[in-house]
Amino acid sequence: MTTQQVFLYAFGTVVIAFYLWKTLRARSIQHYAPAEVAEKLKESRQVVLLDVRTDKEYQQQHIKGSIHIPLQSLLRRTGELEKYKHQEIICCCQTGSRSITAALKLKRLGYTVADMKGGIAEWNFSHIKR
């Protein structure tokens, strides 16, 4: 076996391990479909929607009543979420990838969190109005 082959196998193993690790961590988060999120927001004051997209994405379109903290600023700005510590925070982004990362970060800090599957793209596809 050549050095190049060993490197490729090692790299492939690392990629697969990272994917499995991220998948297993994501399973520890509650995931809601956009319609479920809309219903929860309508029925309960104990639910907060956190949009973790960029400023530009948020300005183009957002769900009314959502809190906006971009993912890259989340750990610096968690103090803004302290008043919601006893509520469920549902994280959303454009497609559902960054929101899982945000939910995992907040969960480690002791927040009750969930993720909106498919993000704003799925929200729009479902034609949900709020």
Spatial neighbors of 33 by CB under 8 A, at least 6 apart, are 116, 117, 118, 122, 126
**Which residue, among 53, 40, 120, 129, has the nearest Cα to 87 in the 3D structure?**
40
- Cα–Cα distance, 53 to 116 (Å, whole number): 13
Domain ranges of the chain: 30-125
Is 99:91 a contact under the CB 8 Å cutoff? yes
In this prediction, residue 13 carries a pLDDT of 72
In this prediction, residue 128 carries a pLDDT of 65
In this prediction, residue 26 carries a pLDDT of 53
pTM for the model: 0.79
Q: Which CATH architecture has domain 30-125?
A: 3-Layer(aba) Sandwich (3.40)
At residue 19 the predicted structure's pLDDT band, cuts being 50, 70 and 90, is: low
**Amino acid identity, position 107:** K
pLDDT in tens, 59-109: 999 999 999 999 999 999 999 999 999 999 999 999 988 999 999 999 999
Is 50:67 a contact under the CB 8 Å cutoff? yes
**Which residue, among 85, 83, 95, 97, has the nearest Cα to 124 in the 3D structure?**
95
In this prediction, residue 43 carries a pLDDT of 87
* CA dihedral of 6, 10, 12, 15, whole degrees rounded to 10: -160
Is 88:107 a contact under the CB 8 Å cutoff? no
The strands making up 30-32's β-sheet, listed across from edge to edge, are 30-32, 112-116, 88-92, 47-51, 67-68
